[in-house]
Structure 1
Amino acid sequence: MGRRALVSAGMPAAAFAVLLLALWFGGGRPRPAIEGLPSPGPLTTWGLPLVRLVHDLSAVATVGVLLTAVLLARDEDERRRIARAAAPWALVWAASAALTEVLTLSDFLGLPVGDALRSGVLTTFLYYIPQGQAFLLVTLVALTVAVGALLPLDAGGRALLLALAVFAVLPPAYAGHSASAADHNLAISSLMAHIAGVALWVGGLAGLVAFLPGSAGLPAAVRRFSALALCCFVAVGVSGTINAWVRLGEVSQLWESRYGLLVLAKAAALAALGWFGWRHRRATIAALETEGSRPFLRLATVEVAVMLATVGLAVGLSRTAPPASAGVPGVAQHQHDALGYTLPPYTPGRLVTEIRPDPIALLAVAGLVAAYLAGVRRLSARGEGWPAWRTASWLAGLLVLAYGLAGGVAAYGPAVFSIHAAQYALLGAVGPALLVLGAPLGLYRRAVPTAGEHEDGPWARALSLPWVATALYAAPYVALYLTGLFEAAQTSLAVRLGLQAVVVATAVVFLEVATGVDPLPRPIRPQVRAAMLLAGVAVQAWVALELLAGPLQGPGWYASLALPWGPERNGDQRLGALLGPGAAALTLAALLVLLLLRWRDARRRLSAGAVQAG
């Protein structure tokens, strides 16, 4: 066996060895069956953590291969070759997810695998139980990625596959201990951010080592990945700290419980990986130009081995029971169970003081801040200026989004409809308007010389069609208030986060097209832009009328909360109908005024130029 093959086999073997050690230490190892009590048997008790590790490693590999093809590879032929290599990994991922479903059912019922499959509850488990739903979704998406990787996709198609793969690593967050944490919304959200960061970081580095060791583009690929790796390191560290804090409850549990000691072991591994990153930045990346790739690849290979061992440790931790939570005294348990967190009685001041720190939202906002400021800095280094007011507008828009996603309105929005409406005005109008006035596309095209290569792609041209952008803007509101999605968004953290992301994204697309701040693939007349903004105002007027004249939204949800301090439902929905859509409509009207003023000034300049020419 060659050295390369030995190393390739040794790294996953180390992950399995660490898993077995963590199972032994944390108490997750199989126990002898007790006579008279149901037992799933050794196939399930040993097989479930081992298959779960295969699942996690293949998921990381799939994400890493696609990330390498999308972001790191140098030319189109190389990108297509690497993307095809994702197919077998995605198939293993799908198969291990399907096997995890079966073994989890066996563990869930306390029956051997054969008896569990003959019990007749597999369909119910897959469709109605969170663990079954999560891994069924993973199976389907992983199969989609496997098929897509074999197709001759362009850059946009490969990017879509990468997005699907990253999405598919998230559902298992609903199937672990975090789902039963004292603050399970925060625990799940932090775990989702943690898992996504790990998949991109570990998978990306493994992709560099596996596919680009002899490539002439390795130095440039390493520099691109280095920036992403630093972001992932921060995201993994912050989200992991939050998740551990929620699960442990007290700092003393770090050394008083086996779960806490395993958390400390993960923290030590993260610190070691931080040292690897520091060493790369200090020595090996610079040496790529002078000493070749050997120093970088040697250190990166050891780093990947430590990463895979840490994945094994994480799977072992997921099979270890966390310390029992004492709960929150004096708070109605049904309120806590429904919301996923405790909420004090509402006062206007608490919209300022109360926070719901969502790691996914805050990390995304931090990344957008860093990316924009990096673009401004790049222009400054070239001696080019960028309007300070545009930077201020971008930062203000992100501040609005951060408050809307993690501030007082995020805390009280699920409990009080009028605050929910105000939250969606911030996310769907105020924040996006400020972001668009920051001209992010213009900054990107000036800061990145090759950015214009893709500005006229089919996706960009389709999204810049006025009717498409307007339809996208209206769609979330129609779905939210006419299809029953409102109640689903309150009861499910995943649906709520997804809907909020869609509201922000569609509003940004709509306002980019409607305002004309940034250059677009197709010219759009000012009259059409004005009509788009008027259509946006009409959408908000329809939302207000639907809330004023239509049925109460989410009656079952608010009944399940049974808040003793909750407002009267009819009056609160009427207030929300005026407050949320009203603020959004005023924002769009202000943009319309700005558009008309710009149009007037442009006509005056054109007339003045014609007079001077004459």
Structure 2
Amino acid sequence: MLALQAGGALAVAIPGLPDPGPVTTWALPLVRLLADALATLTVGMLVTAAFLLPGNGRTVSPHGWLLLRRAGALSAGWAAAALALIVLTVSDVLGFPLQRLNGAAVISFASSISQGRALLLQAGLALAVAVLARVGVSRGLAATAAVLALVGVTPPAFTGHAAGAGNHQIAVSSLVVHVLAAALWIGGLAALLTVRRSRHLADAASRYSRLALGCFTAVAISGITNAAVRLGTVDQLWQSRYGWLVAGKLLALVILGAVGAAHRSRTLPALHAGRRGAFARLATGELVVFAATLGLAVALSRSPTPVARNPADADPLTELLGFPMPAAPTPGTMLGQPLPDLLFLAVTACAAAAYLAGVWRLRRAGHPWPIARTASWLTGLLMLAAFTGLGVARYAYVLFSVHMAQHMVLSMLVPILLVGGAPVTLALRALRRPTDPQVRGAREWLLVILHSRLAKLLTHPLVALGIYTGSLFGLYFSDLLGTMMRSHLGHLAMLVHFVAAGYLLFWVLIGVDPGRPRVPHPILVIIHLAAMAAHGFFGLVLMQTTTILAPDWYTAVHPTWASPLAVDQKLGASIAWAFGEIPAAVVMILLVRQWIRADQREQARFDRAADRAEATGEDDELARYNAFLAAASRAGQDQHRGQRP
């Protein structure tokens, strides 16, 4: 409450203006804090049960089962809190006390307003987690519930302060990273305090310590980035009430970092020595600081930011795009006016660091790793970061032609390069097995995923082909494109789908990683030819269409300096039709090369078998097959002679 008062979130009611009343004013932040706490605890219980504690074969441990049951109850309460937030938010937005609300207003808010839809989605995901946590005890089910819970904490991050003004690409993405890392960090620590066996706690705490270090780094970087966007200038850190709350969170972060260092240097060795008390005391104090930090976060979400906006001076395009309309594109502006997205930056940075760490570990152990694979992976990540964060990403919002170029690069060029890096092979060779055989490490989870039924379904050549080609026609010849462009979450999902669909198809076609389906090379060539034909047909249909795609979006954001919408769409169609030629030819060359090498390996195997047969005096497989054919021929001739009159 002190944080709400200090941040200016508790405004004094002005006579004559709508007022939701004291119940909504005080209940809304309290229920928000309750929902965040329940969500965090749910994530921690599930992650600990699935990933940190040892299991019992395919099932979780007895204590993991207890954590699953607790997570089910917590997620049910989380869903109820999210539904209550919908009602309280309607009361706050309309300025009506709770007793004056009607069901139609609440339903309309939950179905048509982004903030209401986000809360409704969060409630639905929390209910799904509650069901999954109660229906089984397998570690795979617990892992699925944990991932679903992590997804469930993110919807509110796409509304509110972060999405309400300029630079929302940076603000929203940084807030998503922030809440995900914080949920893992806080929830994991709370769950560890419920573990009673010292041996299990010591091992789980060691694994959690590595996770917590990564979460601390992510929370610090994303929090500072988000605060910079919301504050506007550095002096607002001490000159505004919002800045005071940010300073409080920064101080709490420093304290938590110091406590984490103490855990790594003092309490973890004590735990391994069988002394649990020091860890429990320090972790309890750490949770108290975490609770205060959550309170500050709720107060920040309710407090006005220093970057004030006058509705009379608001730029509709900036509100819609998240940035002012750019000038006419030049090579310099396409590369020199970046529009960074923290999610893609974080993914590319982590993927590059993890890959290089795996290569370093292999070479340190004396195992070579091809430089070409490393170069292919890093080049693919560089292209991914460039086309999602440089000026081309800015112009992709307002020009269909640039969007199509971005699509082609992300769905063809980037996946081919990433597949060439053979990341699964590197991971399986570089990742270490846990000392406890009942613990599933990253390598074990990767193997589980590779051999899962879902992976077998998705990697079927026809399914991969259908996902890749079907998304082309489904996105552009429906209303889906405009819907995706209007939402930052939808735009992110669209870009991720481009990369994932392309990676899946080319991994099936030319990948060298284990886990791929064993498909004869002639079939793979036919699949690739079908993909090329579908891609070319898509470009041809797009060039011949006279209907403007996503007209509501592109009409609203069309620049005054740009060509007419129809002309720009024709240019985009030409890019789609022509771009795939070179990547498709490269894939065909690689396919034929792999086919030739497979035949050479098969012939070498026959030659080795013949050499062994000659050395031992035994018939080889080919000789036995020829003898079988000769015997069958003689039998046929004898039967024919016996049938003569």
TM-score (norm 1): 0.91
The structural deviation recorded for 1:610 is 4.0
Contact 2:38 2:74 in 1 (8 A): yes
Q: Does 1:554 align with 2:550?
A: yes
| Number of the residue aligned with 1:200 | 184
- Deviation readout 1:176-226 (Å, 9 max, x if unpaired): 22222332333222212211121122112222222x342533333233323
Q: Distance in 2 between matches of 1:498 and 1:29?
A: 36
Q: Distance in 2 between matches of 1:509 and 1:156?
A: 22
Q: Does 1:73 align with 2:47?
A: no
Contact 2:158 2:489 in 1 (8 A): no
Q: Does 1:339 align with 2:321?
A: yes
1:422 to 394, 405, 423: 405
- Deviation readout 1:253-305 (Å, 9 max, x if unpaired): 11110101111111111122222222233333344333544433332222222
| Number of the residue aligned with 1:47 | 27
| Number of the residue aligned with 1:541 | 536
Q: Distance in 2 between matches of 1:590 and 1:413?
A: 26
Moved more, 594-603 or 279-288: 279-288
- Deviation readout 1:536-582 (Å, 9 max, x if unpaired): 22332133123212222122212112411222322222222222453
The structural deviation recorded for 1:486 is 0.9
The structural deviation recorded for 1:456 is 2.1
| Number of the residue aligned with 1:492 | 487
Structure 1 residues 535 and 292, CA gap change in structure 2 (3 angstroms): farther
Moved more, 150-159 or 430-439: 150-159
Contact 1:181 1:247 in 2 (8 A): no
- Where do residues 127-276 of structure 1 align in structure 2 (5 Å cutoff)? 127-152=111-136, 154-210=138-194, 212-214=195-197, 216-276=199-259
| Number of the residue aligned with 1:22 | 3
Q: Distance in 2 between matches of 1:356 and 1:51?
A: 35
Q: Does 1:117 align with 2:108?
A: no
Q: Does 1:432 align with 2:420?
A: no
Contact 1:88 1:146 in 2 (8 A): yes
Q: Distance in 1 between matches of 2:186 and 2:538?
A: 44
Structure 1 residues 453 and 125, CA gap change in structure 2 (3 angstroms): closer
Moved more, 594-603 or 104-113: 594-603
The structural deviation recorded for 1:53 is 0.3
The structural deviation recorded for 1:402 is 1.0
| Number of the residue aligned with 2:565 | 569
Question: Which amino acid is the alignment partner of residue 430 of structure 1?
Answer: L
The structural deviation recorded for 1:339 is 1.1
Contact 1:515 1:591 in 2 (8 A): yes
Q: Distance in 1 between matches of 2:310 and 2:513?
A: 51
Q: Distance in 2 between matches of 1:219 and 1:386?
A: 35
Structure 1 residues 475 and 68, CA gap change in structure 2 (3 angstroms): farther
Contact 1:182 1:327 in 2 (8 A): no
Q: Does 1:87 align with 2:68?
A: no
Question: Which amino acid is the alignment partner of residue 2 of structure 2?
Answer: L
Structure 1 residues 351 and 220, CA gap change in structure 2 (3 angstroms): farther
Structure 1 residues 177 and 218, CA gap change in structure 2 (3 angstroms): same
1:35 to 9, 15, 18: 15
Question: Which amino acid is the alignment partner of residue 371 of structure 2?
Answer: A
Contact 2:122 2:153 in 1 (8 A): yes
The structural deviation recorded for 1:464 is 2.4
Contact 1:356 1:407 in 2 (8 A): yes
The structural deviation recorded for 1:81 is 3.7
Q: Distance in 2 between matches of 1:209 and 1:198?
A: 17
| Number of the residue aligned with 2:621 | none
Q: Does 1:384 align with 2:367?
A: yes
2:518 to 489, 504, 523: 523
The structural deviation recorded for 1:439 is 0.6
Contact 1:276 1:303 in 2 (8 A): yes
Q: Does 1:443 align with 2:439?
A: no
The structural deviation recorded for 1:453 is 4.8
Where does the alignment leave 5 or more consecutive residues of structure 2 unmatched?
A: 434-442, 612-645
Contact 1:334 1:560 in 2 (8 A): no
User: Looking at CA atoms only, which structure, 1 or 2, has the larger radius of gyration?
Assistant: 2
Q: Does 1:404 align with 2:387?
A: yes
Q: Distance in 1 between matches of 2:347 and 2:484?
A: 20
| Number of the residue aligned with 2:594 | 598
- Deviation readout 1:20-61 (Å, 9 max, x if unpaired): 120121122363x33332211111001000011001101111
Q: Distance in 1 between matches of 2:533 and 2:138?
A: 38
Q: Distance in 2 between matches of 1:80 and 1:392?
A: 44
Moved more, 51-60 or 426-435: 426-435
2:574 to 559, 569, 578: 578
- Where do residues 475-490 of structure 1 align in structure 2 (5 Å cutoff)? 475-490=470-485
Moved more, 101-110 or 360-369: 360-369
1:552 partner SS: coil
Q: Distance in 2 between matches of 1:290 and 1:56?
A: 35
Q: Distance in 1 between matches of 2:262 and 2:229?
A: 32
- Deviation readout 1:446-475 (Å, 9 max, x if unpaired): 123453752322222222221122222223
2:101 partner SS: helix
Structure 1 residues 37 and 542, CA gap change in structure 2 (3 angstroms): same
Q: Distance in 2 between matches of 1:155 and 1:371?
A: 25
Structure 1 residues 583 and 521, CA gap change in structure 2 (3 angstroms): closer
Q: Distance in 2 between matches of 1:227 and 1:90?
A: 26
Q: Distance in 2 between matches of 1:585 and 1:93?
A: 51
Q: Distance in 2 between matches of 1:583 and 1:288?
A: 59
Contact 1:73 1:217 in 2 (8 A): yes
Q: Does 1:514 align with 2:498?
A: no
The structural deviation recorded for 1:436 is 0.9
Q: Distance in 1 between matches of 2:429 and 2:234?
A: 48
Moved more, 161-170 or 175-184: 175-184
The count of residues paired between Structure 1 and Structure 2 equals: 591
2:335 to 344, 349, 352: 352
| Number of the residue aligned with 1:107 | 92
| Number of the residue aligned with 2:627 | none
Contact 2:169 2:340 in 1 (8 A): no
Q: Distance in 2 between matches of 1:477 and 1:162?
A: 32
The structural deviation recorded for 1:251 is 1.1
Q: Distance in 2 between matches of 1:293 and 1:529?
A: 57
Q: Does 1:303 align with 2:286?
A: yes
Structure 1 residues 373 and 324, CA gap change in structure 2 (3 angstroms): closer
2:18 partner SS: coil
Where does the alignment leave 5 or more consecutive residues of structure 1 unmatched?
A: 1-19
Q: Percent sequence identity over matched residues?
A: 40
Q: Distance in 2 between matches of 1:267 and 1:370?
A: 27
Q: Distance in 2 between matches of 1:584 and 1:219?
A: 53
Question: Which amino acid is the alignment partner of residue 525 of structure 1?
Answer: P
Question: Which amino acid is the alignment partner of residue 256 of structure 1?
Answer: Q
The structural deviation recorded for 1:326 is 6.3
Question: Which amino acid is the alignment partner of residue 58 of structure 1?
Answer: L
Structure 1 residues 80 and 593, CA gap change in structure 2 (3 angstroms): farther
| Number of the residue aligned with 1:3 | none
Q: Distance in 2 between matches of 1:115 and 1:465?
A: 56
CA RMSD of aligned residues (A): 2.3
Q: Distance in 1 between matches of 2:330 and 2:544?
A: 27
Q: Does 1:464 align with 2:447?
A: no
